Structure 1
Amino acid sequence: MGRKRNKRSPEQRDGLLILNKPSGPTSAACLNDIKHQLKQYKIGHGGTLDPMATGVLLVLLGHGTKLAPYLSGGTKTYSGTFRLGITTDTLDIQGEVVKEAPVEATVDDVEREVYHWKELTEQEVPAYSAAKHEGKPLYALAREGKETPVKIKPIVISHVETLDVRMPEASFRVSCSAGTYIRSLVHSLGIRMGCGATLTSLVRESSEPFTLAQAHDLEDVLENPETFPEKVIPLKDTLPHWPRYRLTEPLAGLVTNGAWLPVNSQPGELLAGKLGDRAMLLDPEDEPLALVEAKLQDDKPRWAILRGLWNRD
């Protein structure tokens, strides 16, 4: 007997909600509030934020959940503050202080060490994180008092700047690859400076290509359900940094049958591109049809289907 499919809620939307996550609740708790209060039973995200953090949280709705791999991997920009002289178990101010030390650094020292982040190519995953070991989150192991395995992950820091330094605190802005732990950046700075450091606030200003200026407060989303539909970005507009091509009926039929369409070498023309480019294909009614990437097939560039979007079941 086949698995029973959940009935779709009449209120279910398809697309993207850019949420300004408040400090305090987990990202999962924010999604659960939207899920149950607004009957958005098919829901996902494009990269979580720690409970203390605020800012851009990409909430994927309905068929928008199919786009998670393509929205979660973009560059993230954060601004935040840290305090020198203390180290906590969670690497942020919400944890328990495990060490204190005098701060003898100068403003120049702080600015130099913040800029040093740009030289980092990997970091240690915090023990208190959602990263998993044998199917269990590291934070669960840490809270049980169990030893957490050391996990190292690659990172890319594309931009760093110090905004203000008022000892023993400093503020900064950093742009980085998806999955970078800002807590770990601050912790590594504290180790290099010999006095320890802990993150005291964090705001995600952007999750490529969306910014905080486009985000909606959770309270507003939940308390005004009648305006919720207009806050949701339609599925076809969820990847604005990708080219979009509206196909003719015959070409749309080929795509739904799994065909790879030829890449047009003429810029500005239908299906124009070069190897490695990605695009969204639309049907004649302007509805999303597929996500594609230009790849070689029989030594010819063709649009390979990354994700079919024509199945609305």
Structure 2
Amino acid sequence: MQPKVKKTWKQVDGVLLLDKPVGMTSNDALQKARRLFSAAKGGHTGTLDPLASGLLPLCFGEATKFSADLLDADKTYEAELKLGVTTDSGDAEGQVTATAAVHVSESDIFNVLPRFTGDIQQVPPMHSALKRDGRPLYELARQGIEVERAPRAVTIHAIECLGFAGDVLRLRVKCSKGTYIRVLAADIGAALGCGAHLTALRRTEVGDLSLAGAVTLVELEAMDEAVRSVRLQPVDALLQSLPRIDVAGDAAQRFRHGNPVDLPAGLAGKIRVYENDRLIGVGEPGREGRLWPKRLVQLADNLI
């Protein structure tokens, strides 16, 4: 028997745009990608259900300091709904609870979809990770227990019909954080009078990031280490929507040591700060009307 080789981990800083496959949890995808890069530290920017595929931004090293910033970002999905069948989970993994004949026209769909755009209320599904008295709702659901859930406000920025044939409806949805696409599918089915459930889901955008630059695990495994490292984006890939300032000399030194610097007029909110075109951190306006460090980064020269 060959002796087991101990894994050697290293400092890796950057962002990987992963195209997650169906059937894999977000954490399993993260750990597999982390091993491929031998990254000592990694995290993701919000889970994508095993049923879903698509964009899963992964953060390594110093980029993990900014992973929470994407939790609040808008998301875009392409969803497939099966009309005429309702399930207890709202997706294809649940038990069928009702069936109905589908007498729906394209005009019916175009009349219904506007009802679900803008600020709407959603009742979170029982098959979710939300907790009640410390227990995930899905655990209660598996025991046949259903508890009352308060509606939550979410925003649907846009719904586009990508196709409709027979009992299959395809949609593109751009929405706020916290939106359950399977709840949206069930609600649209109810509004159409036949019921529906989600059969496929693919995330195409998270904030300003898109699938256009994403890579699959299969593709990563086939690459040699040098090619693989090229697919890793810089730490500030997560920060492109923030305004930027550049500092130098004493100001850069002060910021690096946790002290404020002058705040340019007209800027507010989180601001990314650079020295010699190198990200040194993110600041926020604070007392004295100055820019105070919020998060600082330390990057190896070859990874900036």
Normalising by the residue count of structure 2, what TM-score does the alignment of the two structures yield?
Answer: 0.87
Deviation of residue 17 (structure 1)?
0.4
Task: Give the Cα separation in 1 of the matches to 2:228 and 2:264.
Answer: 39
Matched, 1:291 2:279: no
Check 1:109–1:29 CA distance in 2 against 1; reply closer, same or farther (3 A cut).
same
Moved over 4 A (4+): none
The 10-residue stretch of structure 1 (63-72 or 239-248) with the greater mean CA deviation from structure 2: 239-248
Instruction: Report what 1:157 is aligned to.
Output: 156
Task: Give the Cα separation in 1 of the matches to 2:84 and 2:173.
Answer: 22
5 Å matches for 1:23-102? Answer: 23-102=22-101
Check 1:189–1:73 CA distance in 2 against 1; reply closer, same or farther (3 A cut).
same
Check 1:137–1:15 CA distance in 2 against 1; reply closer, same or farther (3 A cut).
farther
Normalising by the residue count of structure 1, what TM-score does the alignment of the two structures yield?
Answer: 0.85
Deviation of residue 245 (structure 1)?
2.8
**Please, which runs of 5 or more residues in structure 1 have no aligned partner?**
1-7, 266-272
Task: Give the Cα separation in 1 of the matches to 2:199 and 2:253.
Answer: 54
Task: Give the Cα separation in 2 of the matches to 1:56 and 1:147.
Answer: 32
Matched, 1:306 2:301: no
Task: Tell me, yes or no, if the aligned pair for 2:281 and 2:295 is still in contact at 8 Å.
Answer: yes
Task: Tell me, yes or no, if the aligned pair for 1:88 and 1:95 is still in contact at 8 Å.
Answer: yes
Percent identical: 32
State the Cα deviation string for residues 120-149 of structure 1 (Å, max 9, x = none): 422111211222334433223322433345
Task: Tell me, yes or no, if the aligned pair for 1:15 and 1:233 is still in contact at 8 Å.
Answer: yes
Amino acid at match of 2:57: L
RMSD: 2.3
Matched, 1:233 2:233: yes
Deviation of residue 49 (structure 1)?
1.2
Task: Tell me, yes or no, if the aligned pair for 2:43 and 2:58 is still in contact at 8 Å.
Answer: yes
Deviation of residue 10 (structure 1)?
4.2
Task: Tell me, yes or no, if the aligned pair for 2:12 and 2:40 is still in contact at 8 Å.
Answer: no
Check 1:252–1:172 CA distance in 2 against 1; reply closer, same or farther (3 A cut).
same
How many correspondences in the alignment?
Answer: 293
Deviation of residue 37 (structure 1)?
4.7
Check 1:207–1:279 CA distance in 2 against 1; reply closer, same or farther (3 A cut).
same
Task: Give the Cα separation in 2 of the matches to 1:35 and 1:274.
Answer: 36
Check 1:232–1:274 CA distance in 2 against 1; reply closer, same or farther (3 A cut).
same
Instruction: Report what 2:202 is aligned to.
Output: 203
State the Cα deviation string for residues 75-115 of structure 1 (Å, max 9, x = none): 11111111111111221122221211122332211222222
Instruction: Report what 1:217 is aligned to.
Output: 216
SS of 1:99 mapped into structure 2: strand
Deviation of residue 216 (structure 1)?
0.5
**Please, which runs of 5 or more residues in structure 2 have no aligned partner?**
1-6
Task: Give the Cα separation in 1 of the matches to 2:228 and 2:147.
Answer: 41
